[in-house]
Amino acid sequence: MLTRKTRETDITVRLNLDGAGKAKLDYPIGFMAHMLDTFSRHGLFDIEIRASGDLEVDQHHLVEDTGIALGQCFAQALGDRRGIRRVGSCLYPMDEALARACADLSGRAFLVFEGNLSGVPLVSMPALSPGGSSFQTDTVEDFWQGFVSTAGLTLHLDVLRGRGDHHKIEALFKAAARALREACEIDGRAADSVPSTKGVLGNTPPAVLA
């Protein structure tokens, strides 16, 4: 278990990389909870997240800090990264949207994000969400920037085509989950070696435990 608590957010995360895609979420932003559930299911990661934050300010702090905390859990679970495939990629079609994710668990944090999002918030139905809450789509990049910064991950995310931001974002999360699932899997032909000519995957940030 990992807990990240600041003056802006309070987040607790549990992660099992070798799971069945089960998510248990106590998360106050409906659309982001949907994306975290999607990420869990398509990556076959078991994830538990309990989170709260200063949503009276905006959604940026909570979404970014969720990425940071989840990335720390990945770094902890991967250890020295011995035996993993290290790289993975996925082209994911979702109706009119097509997203691409390419991941390298190199120990080096780098994000290329070409989401081609409109920047217009996604608004939920007031009858289902009291007050008619919305999701700030510009925080999607913040989430992934936070994630790669602590996971020790190089990640390229691109939306190649699409119409609505909902499908674009969801296709990105599904593509990223499947690329990471491939990268995290054990390579049966090299299960005892670190997948690097250096013999180590350096610059991996340490996980911060509660």
Q: Is residue 161 in a domain?
A: yes
CA dist list (Å): 79 to 50, 75, 92, 106, 155: 24, 6, 28, 12, 19
Tokens standing for residue 183: 């990268």
A 10 A CB-CB count for 2 gives 19
pLDDT at 49: 98
pTM equals: 0.90
Has residue 68 got a pLDDT over 70?
Answer: yes
Task: With respect to residue 204, please indicate whether it lies within any of the assigned structural domains.
Answer: no
Residue 165 has pLDDT above 50, yes or no: yes
Strand order, beta sheet including 23-26: 2-5, 9-16, 46-53, 23-26
Residue 84 inside a domain? The answer is yes
Grade residue 188 by pLDDT with cuts at 50, 70 and 90: confident
β-pair type (46-53, 9-16): antiparallel
Tell me, rounded to whole angstroms, the distance of Cα 174 from its chain centroid.
Answer: 10
Assess if residue 200 is contained within a domain: no
Q: Which range of residues forms the domain containing residue 174?
A: 2-184
- On whether the CB atoms of residues 114 and 157 are closer than 8 A, the answer is yes
Question: Does the pLDDT at position 164 exceed 70?
Answer: yes
* Domain CATH number, residue 74: 3.30.230.40
Query: What is the tens place of the pLDDT at every residue in 116-133?
Result: 999 999 986 654 444 446
Q: Kindly indicate the confidence band of residue 197, based on its pLDDT and cuts at 50, 70 and 90.
A: low
Answer whether residue 172 is part of any domain: yes
Q: Does a structural domain hold residue 125?
A: yes
- 30-43 and 165-184 are packed helices; what angle lies between their axes, rounded to 10 degrees? 40
Classify residue 201: in a domain, yes or no: no
Report if residue 141 sits inside a domain.
yes
Domains contained in the chain, number: 1
